[in-house]
Structure 1
């Protein structure tokens, strides 16, 4: 009879990762990224330091994943079926969703961006995991708009995407309103009234 080998160590609790991410989000929203320590996060989550480090090698990895998860819950939902609806409507829905997230987490996002300026490794991770995926989605929507003749064939989709991102990052960094009206104005400028 062959014995099934037993894995060493205790099994991970399924609630540990969500508890750590929730604690990280709450603390960063309240205090800003640079004022939050690993000790505060594990205390708030009610878990051990080992539980955190088994999942994330650094505070930055945990915090970025926590905010990526929070941002992705609404911001990408409509893009699971990219062929449904017009590109204009998909872009509008995406921007409204992103702006809703920024309304909720704008201060925390500004804190993360400020910290990314001081830490090149953190900045690279922030760009890779947060900035570029959103840029790719917007660029894809615009490319589909060209292919479906919603935008002229000579449209520079990379430039349009950069302009969209520039406008909302600029407003977010200055803590100016990002709302449905602004999303509609942006989309009207790109697609025409």
Structure 2
């Protein structure tokens, strides 16, 4: 989380939770562009300065809210899990896709915001995109260590291809479901 406190006073944790919840709820209900900072602070029952003591922009707040929720939907695969890495990849992707059923529009809006704001684009890449690519890269490297994936394959490139496939579908509002997760895992690891 990138909450900040410039006043020197302790950050009220409940206000932060309320702001994140209000932002996500309003963006889901009304669309990102139609939600103002004023509406978020009113819904959260806090002062505007309370928001700005924690986040620089609406996009920063919404990103934090999505990141917090993502941990419950699609945490990183456990590399010490004894199941085959193919199964771990498929499960991870299915969980990501379940999350996108709820927050697909929110993520599309954040991607658009990143195209308009270079500073936010850096934050979005550093905090959301690159860590998720690294999760899959780490899982693929674990598969190579276990002998489940050829050591001659480029784990980073494969991770980029996996992400490219689902970001493309997300942006084009095409199906992201468990069948697609299965198809990706089959392409990465070969047919069962």
> Normalized against structure 2, the TM-score is what?
0.89
Contact 1:33 / 1:111 at 8 angstroms: preserved in 2? yes
Partner of 2:144: 146
- 2:116 counterpart (95, 115, 118): 118
Deviates more, 1:49-58 or 1:163-172: 49-58
Partner of 1:68: 67
Distance 2:139 2:169 in 1: 22
The answer to whether structure 1 residue 137 and structure 2 residue 138 are counterparts is no
Distance 2:10 2:117 in 1: 34
Contact 1:34 / 1:115 at 8 angstroms: preserved in 2? no
Partner of 1:83: 80
Partner of 2:163: 165
Larger radius of gyration: 1
Contact 2:74 / 2:96 at 8 angstroms: preserved in 1? yes
Distance 2:168 2:154 in 1: 21
The answer to whether structure 1 residue 57 and structure 2 residue 56 are counterparts is yes
Partner of 1:40: 39
Deviates more, 1:32-41 or 1:168-177: 32-41
CA offset at residue 35 of structure 1? 2.5
How many residues align? The count is 184
Measured at CA, do residues 21 and 191 of structure 1 come closer, stay the same or move farther in structure 2, by a change above 3 Å?
same
1:79-137 deviations in Å (ceiling 9; x for gaps): 3x321122111111110110001011111111111121111111111111110110000
CA offset at residue 10 of structure 1? 7.4
Partner of 1:92: 90
Query: Any gaps of 5 or more consecutive residues in structure 1?
Result: 1-7
> Normalized against structure 1, the TM-score is what?
0.89
Measured at CA, do residues 120 and 143 of structure 1 come closer, stay the same or move farther in structure 2, by a change above 3 Å?
same
Contact 1:116 / 1:126 at 8 angstroms: preserved in 2? yes
Distance 2:9 2:46 in 1: 14
Measured at CA, do residues 138 and 27 of structure 1 come closer, stay the same or move farther in structure 2, by a change above 3 Å?
same
The answer to whether structure 1 residue 16 and structure 2 residue 15 are counterparts is yes
